[in-house]
C-alpha cells in the first residue's frame, strides 16, 4: 500500500514536505486517464486533486484502501461526496483560502470591461492609437448585481462597495437581516429584479442541479441594455449557446469568463469577440491564495494519514473504515 497519489498539478513546499514524510506519487496528468487512475488508486490511502480529476462513485468503488481525498479548492462538483461518505472516506477541502484571490480577479475583470482594457491593449500593440474608440465608463455609482452571496460573493461586494458601487444580490439561502448584508448595505432582490437593475452582473454560485444554466438566453434578455456579465464561479451555471446569441444580438456591452462549460475550453465564437474576456480558470491562482490552499489541504491529508483529525473537512474528520494506519515509518 502506498500513501498519497497526486493526479493533478499541485506544487509547493507543502507538497515537498508531504513527499519527505509519506510515500507520494506525483502524476499530474493522470486526471486525463480515468481508467489508469482507477487501476493505480487501488493501492493508495490518499488522493489529492484540484477540479479536473473526476472522483466519481465508480472510481471510489475501486479504491478499497482510500482514507482521504484532499481537494485543493472549494468546488465539489468533481467529487462525489455522498459516495465518499458511504465508503468512509474523509473529504478535506479549502473552502475560504482562495476567497480573496477570486474576489480580486472579479473586480479586475469588472474594471477591465468598464474601461475596455484588454481590447485597447491588443489594438495598441498592433500599432494603432484609437483613443476615442476605447472610451469606457466609470464604475462609481453603478450597480453590481451579485448572484450567490457566499464567501466570494460577499468579498466581491465589499471591494465593489469600497469603489463606490451600489450592491444588490440574489441568494435564496441568505438571511436578509444578516449582519454582513446589513454592513455592506446589500439590497436583496429576486433574480429577475437583479438582472433588470444591474449595470454589472457577477456569478458566484456552485455548480449543481439547481444552478445549471441558471443564466441562459432568457436571463440575458432581462438584463439592462449595455450591461456587463462576469462569471468566476463555474462554467455550468451559464448556457454558452444563449450567451453567444445574446452577444450577437448586442444585448450585452461585454462579458468576462474565467470558467467555461467545458474545461479546457474548445474553440468557440466567443474567441473572436472583442468585447469578451476569456481566462483559463485562474481565479484561485495567486501565489498568496495557492500557498494558503496547499498549506491547508496538505495539513489535513497528513493528519488523516497519521491517525489524527482533519480540521477542514466536508463530511467527517476521520475515516470511518477499518483501523487507521499511521505515517510511513509506522507501516514498515
Q: Which residue numbers are catalytic?
A: 234, 263, 281
Q: Which single residue is written with the C-alpha cell 485597447?
A: 120
124/133 Cα distance (integer angstroms): 11
The DSSP result for 9-22, as a single string, is ---SHHHHHHHHHS
Quick check: 169 and 146 in contact, CB under 8 A?
yes
Residue 26 CA from chain centroid, whole number: 23
Residue 250 in grid coordinates:
448586442
Please confirm whether the linkage preceding 264 is cis (ω < 30° from 0): yes
DSSP 220: H
Which run of H or of E encompasses 83?
Answer: helix 81-86
Residue 39 CA from chain centroid, whole number: 28
Q: How far is CA 153 from CA 49, 160, 299, in A?
A: 24, 10, 27
Beta strand 187-188 with 200-203 is unpaired
Among candidates 263, 258, 229, which has minimal Cα distance to 246? 229
Count Cα neighbours of 87 within 13 Å in the Cβ-side half-sphere.
24
Q: Which single residue is written with the C-alpha cell 488522493?
A: 47
Amino acid at each position: 500500500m502506498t500513501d498519497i497519489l497526486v493526479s493533478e498539478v499541485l506544487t509547493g513546499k507543502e507538497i515537498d514536505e508531504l513527499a519527505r514524510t509519506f510515500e507520494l506519487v506525483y502524476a499530474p496528468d493522470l486526471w486525463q486517464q480515468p481508467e489508469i487512475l482507477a487501476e493505480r488508486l487501488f493501492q493508495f490511502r490518499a488522493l489529492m486533486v484540484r477540479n479536473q480529476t473526476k472522483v466519481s462513485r465508480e472510481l471510489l468503488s475501486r479504491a478499497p484502501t482510500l482514507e482521504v481525498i484532499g481537494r485543493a479548492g472549494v468546488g465539489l462538483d468533481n467529487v462525489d461526496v455522498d459516495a465518499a461518505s458511504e465508503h468512509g472516506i474523509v473529504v478535506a477541502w479549502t473552502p475560504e483560502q482562495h476567497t480573496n484571490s477570486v474576489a480580486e480577479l472579479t473586480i479586475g475583470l469588472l474594471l477591465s470591461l468598464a474601461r475596455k482594457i484588454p481590447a485597447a491593449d491588443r489594438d495598441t500593440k498592433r500599432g494603432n492609437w484609437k483613443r476615442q474608440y476605447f472610451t469606457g465608463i466609470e464604475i462609481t455609482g453603478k450597480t453590481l448585481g451579485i448572484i450567490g452571496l457566499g464567501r466570494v460573493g460577499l468579498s466581491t461586494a465589499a471591494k465593489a462597495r469600497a469603489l463606490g458601487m451600489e450592491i444588490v444580490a440574489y441568494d435564496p439561502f441568505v438571511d436578509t437581516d444578516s449582519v454582513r448584508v446589513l454592513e455592506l448595505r446589500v439590497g436583496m432582490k429576486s433574480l429577475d429584479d437583479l438582472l433588470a437593475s444591474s449595470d454589472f452582473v457577477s456569478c458566484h454560485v456552485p455548480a449543481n442541479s439547481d444552478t445549471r444554466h441558471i443564466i441562459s438566453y432568457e436571463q440575458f434578455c432581462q438584463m439592462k441594455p449595455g450591461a456587463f456579465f462576469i462569471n468566476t464561479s463555474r462554467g455550468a451555471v451559464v448556457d454558452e449557446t444563449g450567451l453567444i446569441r445574446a452577444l450577437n444580438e448586442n444585448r450585452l456591452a461585454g462579458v468576462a469568463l474565467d470558467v467555461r462549460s467545458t474545461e479546457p475550453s474548445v474553440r468557440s465564437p466567443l474567441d473572436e469577440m472583442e468585447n469578451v474576456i476569456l481566462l483559463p480558470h485562474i481565479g484561485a491562482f495567486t501565489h498568496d491564495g495557492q500557498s494558503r490552499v496547499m498549506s491547508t489541504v496538505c495539513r489535513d491529508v497528513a493528519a488523516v494519514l497519521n491517525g489524527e483529525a482533519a480540521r477542514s473537512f466536508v463530511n467527517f474528520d476521520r475515516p470511518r473504515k477499518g483501523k487507521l494506519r499511521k505515517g510511513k515509518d509506522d507501516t514498515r
